[in-house]
């Protein structure tokens, strides 16, 4: 019997779904990396989120593996070239959390624009100040979306009711990405016109530390920056410096270069202190696609793709 090993915490609906198409499923979200190495050779399928890196070492042990499925969008936890070279299929589920990501970035924008995070704390402390908390309207702003895949396109759709000009730029060469919700443009137009920029790109050699001082200085007016992709896309020290000078009006970050906060604090104490103290930075713990609904939607997406593999044998 074909066997699937699930090594991360997925919505429990995944087990009966996979069993319904003939798989024996071992659901072990608490399994250790060492145990995965010991047991992987008997499985035809591996489902994971972010527990471990899938590199050559584990692939050499995965003698029967037919597919690796990631419960999320990014594939930077997997050495894609090595997986594909062995004839192993790669599956992911960006369709499952695109609504959650789109709503999260919109919530971050509205929170920062209207000082909701700051005003909430002030009122709870007995401070009732209106003028210092005067906000901005999203209506009429130019929003640039860099990375126009599932998440970027869904975010653009959410912006339709705000009467924004939406510009889209995709990093993939020769991609066709203009639709009714956004205008496809080059980066030069974004540098000239953007009030807001939101990143929805994978982490690759091209995007690693893409947003640095040079990148930010190309914008012709102050921007609001939002990153719901990968932390290493944005050089944090460069972004903070530009926020402190006013080149960047504010930032919403759902991801960081180092998401192990104790390690971040120990190794970069000054940067950590500046980040946590800056009222123009809104932080969330990588939860952009982390909703109750997306938890279940991801299962359905992965199930459909695994089922399609069987149908195409």
Catalytic residues: 230, 259, 286
Write the DSSP assignment of 15-46 as a string of letters. HHHHHTTT-EEEE-TT--HHHHHHHGGG-SEE
Cβ distance 37 to 58 under 8 Å?
yes
Cβ distance 40 to 65 under 8 Å?
yes
Tell me the CA distances in angstroms from 57 to 37, 38, 178, 252, one per residue in order.
9, 12, 41, 37
Range list of H helices, 5-149: 14-19, 33-39, 56-59, 80-85, 94-113, 116-124
Q: Find tokens 């971050």 and name the residue.
A: 108
- Collapsing DSSP to helix, strand or coil, 144 comes out as strand
Structure tokens at 75: 């594939």
From CA 114, how far away is CA 137, in angstroms rounded?
A: 8
Residue 169 C-beta-side C-alpha neighbours within 13 Å: 15
Q: Which residues contact 302 (CB under 8 A, 6 or more apart)?
A: 14, 47, 69, 71, 91, 93, 96
């Amino acid at each position: 019997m074909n066997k699937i090993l699930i090594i991360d915490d997925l919505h429990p609906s995944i087990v009966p779904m996979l069993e319904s198409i003939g798989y024996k499923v071992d659901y072990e979200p608490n399994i250790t990396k060492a145990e995965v190495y010991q047991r992987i050779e008997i499985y035809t399928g591996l489902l994971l989120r972010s527990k471990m890196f899938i590199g050559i070492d584990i692939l050499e042990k995965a003698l029967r593996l037919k597919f690796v499925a990631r419960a999320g969008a990014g594939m930077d936890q997997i050495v894609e070239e090595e997986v594909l070279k062995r004839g192993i299929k790669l599956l992911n589920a960006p369709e499952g959390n695109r609504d959650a990501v789109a709503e999260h970035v919109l919530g971050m924008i509205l929170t920062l624009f209207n000082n909701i995070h700051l005003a909430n704390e002030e009122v709870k402390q007995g401070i009732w100040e209106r003028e210092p908390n005067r906000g901005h309207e999203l209506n009429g702003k130019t929003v640039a979306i860099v990375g126009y895949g599932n998440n970027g396109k869904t975010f653009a759709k959410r912006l339709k009711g705000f009467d924004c000009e939406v510009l889209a730029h995709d990093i993939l060469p020769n991609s066709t990405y203009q639709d009714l919700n956004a205008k496809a443009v080059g980066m030069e137009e974004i540098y000239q016109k953007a009030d807001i920029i939101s990143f929805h790109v994978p982490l690759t050699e091209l995007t690693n530390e893409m947003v640095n001082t040079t990148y930010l200085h190309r914008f012709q007016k102050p921007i609001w920056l939002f990153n719901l992709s990968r932390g290493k896309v944005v050089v944090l020290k460069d972004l903070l410096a530009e926020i402190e000078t006013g080149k960047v009006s504010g930032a919403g970050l759902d991801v960081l270069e180092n998401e192990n906060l104790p390690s971040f604090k120990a190794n970069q104490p000054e940067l950590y202190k500046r980040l946590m103290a800056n009222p123009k930075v809104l932080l969330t713990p990588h939860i952009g696609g982390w909703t109750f609904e997306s938890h279940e939607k991801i299962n359905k997406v992965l199930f459909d793709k695994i089922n399609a593999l069987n149908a195409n044998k």
